[in-house]
Amino acid sequence: MSTQPPGARISGSGRALGARCVSNDELAAELGSSDDWIVARTGIRTRYFIEPGQSNTSLALEASRAALADAQRNASELDAIVFATLSPDMVFPGNGVLLQEALGVAPIPALDVRNQCSGFLYALSVARAWIVSGTYRRVLVVGSEVHSTGLDMSPRGRAVSILFGDGAGAVVVEAVDSHVQEGGALEPVRLGADGSGARLLFCDRPGAAHHPSITCDDIEAGRHFAHMEGRQVFRRAVELLSQEVAALIARHSLDPKRAVLVAHQSNRRINELVATRTNIPEDRVLHTIEQWGNTTAGSIPMALDLARRERRIAPGDPVIMAAFGSGLTWGTTLMWG
Ligand code: ACO
């Protein structure tokens, strides 16, 4: 038996979407926007919203089952769950335990991660650390969001409400012999945060800092909806992601022309600018935002699943995952194809 600590690899992925496809035209009249404005500023053409009977947990369950099937594993083989979301089904408990029950895998631990757009990479870093430390051998990592039930569908909310869709992505992360080069091998995740930007993108109602945590006046004023300083977030996202992706390329001595960029999908222009600044060719950048909108913690595992299933990743390709969002928080990692 090897005395080296194990490595970690992604052995399966899956995704799920809200059942209803919603076009820009459908939103435009209500929001005081237009298809042209939304496409030009964000790249989004459609997004998916849940239908009655669906929930954050049901999307996560569908994505998880697909990931387990892809990894050729049964749920009973899992050792732990890490669940990233900013839109849990309940204030508490978190969605991790709801998914655990739905999968029928009690009593394995279920950890909830609250890092918004970077949530999946924060969750992946925990799963990888558990595996390389020998704590667990097989971890399910999920990013799942239901935004549609919390959007301000009036002109007041248009800058935010055009962006978001409902969806989930999941991956199975497994221990592997670190000597063996296997597809899906994960390098360490590099994370960062800057709490001074917490109020650039936030939702503080209901919030325990307020007494009571939410009032009718708050609802009337729309304080229970997300607030975003869009331009500042855009600028910080381009700067930070370009810097972090360039650092990752240098750290691993990668040829950027061979890299595949699977970044968080918050605005097509952000990812185009990051790719240009880091010399990653445009045809090696995954764009799912046109069809799915911004699914926050779900966006990276959903895009990764698409890339794997459509064979957009060749064996040995360096796949760069990168996220930036509310917090402010960010993260990057490298997976070998
Ligand atoms: N339709 C039409 N007009 C609009 C809309 C809309 N949906 N939204 C805003 N406008 C108007 C504004 O009212 C403003 O009009 P004015 O000039 O008359 O005042 C004008 O368009 C420009 O508004 P901005 O907000 O400055 O528009 P911008 O070009 O910045 O685009 C956007 C807005 C798309 C939100 C952009 O700022 C962006 O993508 N920001 C980054 C988003 C992001 O990365 N978020 C982080 C991840 S999400 C997460 O973490 C949960």
- For residue 2, what pLDDT is reported? 58
Domain boundaries, the chain: 7-176, 185-336
Alpha helices in the chain (DSSP H): 24-31, 35-42, 56-71, 95-103, 119-132, 158-161, 216-221, 230-251, 268-277, 289-292, 299-309
- For residue 1, what pLDDT is reported? 53
pLDDT in 10s for each residue of the chain, 337 residues: 557 889 999 999 999 999 999 999 999 999 999 999 999 999 999 999 999 999 999 999 999 999 999 999 999 999 999 999 999 999 999 999 999 999 999 999 999 999 999 999 999 999 999 999 999 999 999 999 999 999 999 999 999 999 999 999 999 999 998 776 789 999 999 999 999 999 999 999 999 999 999 999 999 999 999 999 999 999 999 999 999 999 999 999 999 999 999 999 999 999 999 999 999 999 999 999 999 999 999 999 999 999 999 999 999 999 999 999 999 999 999 999 9
Examine domains 7-176 and 185-336 and report if their fold is the same.
yes
DSSP, collapsed to helix, strand or coil, labels residue 43 as coil
**Residue nearest (by alpha carbon) to ligand 1 atom 25:** 230
Structure tokens at 167: 């969806």
pTM of the shown model? 0.96
CA of residue 333 to ligand 1 center, whole Å: 28
Rounded to whole angstroms, how far apart are CA atoms 148 and 146? 6
Query: Max alpha carbon distance in the chain (Å)?
Result: 64
| Sign of the torsion angle spanned by Cα atoms 104, 110, 116, 117 | negative
Class for the domain spanning 185-336: alpha beta
- For residue 181, what pLDDT is reported? 75
The gap from C-alpha 313 to its chain's centroid, in whole angstroms, comes to: 19
The gap from C-alpha 17 to its chain's centroid, in whole angstroms, comes to: 13
- Angle formed by the axes of helices 35-42 and 24-31, nearest 10°: 110
The number of the ligand 1 atom at minimal distance from the alpha carbon of 162 is 7
**Residue nearest (by alpha carbon) to ligand 1 atom 37:** 230
Class for the domain spanning 7-176: alpha beta
